[in-house]
Amino acid sequence: MRERGFTLAEVLITVGIIGVIAAMTMPVLIANKKAKELETALKKNTSVIQQALLMAAMEDGTEPTPQNLASGELKLKLKPYLNVIKDCGRGTEVGACVVNPGYQPDAKNTYVTFNKEKNINYSLLDDGQLLLADGSLILFENSNPAFENILISIDVNGVQKSPNAWGQDLFTFQLTNTGKLLPAGAEGTKYTDTKYCSISSNNDMNGLGCTYKALTEPDYFKNLP
């Protein structure tokens, strides 16, 4: 019996079908991969910051808190316990990794809010900045103990990679009066209001309060706006 192979037309049709299926599924696969990378980076950096706080507390014999930290002091306390490749200053000066445009009008706006509708409030990122060896960037709000509002923000994939949005790759933690590090948006932080994590909020801190959701909701990163 003679063996019958595929005709050229049949091969081309098959290849075309495979191409259509690949074109339909590839964006989903890429999005899922990116979501997983962001989720993993957030969990890793959360652990890194918590470990640095623990080491600083062991060194000093007391936990860092808003009451016992001078302006800009938290960065100095944590720096020895982080794999830092660049100290970016405070964030108000030329040469900082992320410059507050309020101090340097020519500086570009690096970050946007959760829904990407406006630039964020940079005053919460300009009391110390440290670039780590893995490319992540740690930014501090530690201006005055009287405010009792010390924040640690982490750009988990660095300023050179998108989306550069609060609640998407930039996440914030609050250091409480007892020295506990809480993800912003969790009970016990100042950012539980929905305006701090909403697809519709026009607040310039929208996204700051998304960290708790990012750490606790299984499909958070798959559903980013």
The answer to pTM > 0.75 is yes
Average pLDDT, the chain: 91
Q: Specify the range with the lowest mean pLDDT, choosing from 66-70, 119-123, 179-183.
A: 66-70
Q: Where are the domains of the chain?
A: 8-223
| Nearest-angstrom CA–CA distance, 157 and 161 | 6
What digits encode the pLDDT tens for the residues 90-107? Answer: 999 999 999 999 999 899
What digits encode the pLDDT tens for the residues 148-188? Answer: 789 999 999 999 999 999 999 999 999 999 999 999 999 99
Q: Is the peptide bond before 64 cis (omega within 30 degrees of 0)?
A: no
Among candidates 137, 102, 121, which has minimal Cα distance to 207? 121
Q: Look up residue 190 and give its two tokens.
A: 């100042």
Kindly indicate the confidence band of residue 28, based on its pLDDT and cuts at 50, 70 and 90.
low
Find tokens 């890194």 and name the residue: 48
Q: Exposed, middle or buried, 201 (CB in 10 Å: 0-12/13-18/19+)?
A: buried
Degrees, nearest 5: CA angle 53-42-143: 45
Residue 73: φ, ψ to 5°: -75, -30
Helix, strand counts (H, E) of the chain: 3, 6
Q: What pLDDT score was predicted for residue 25?
A: 64
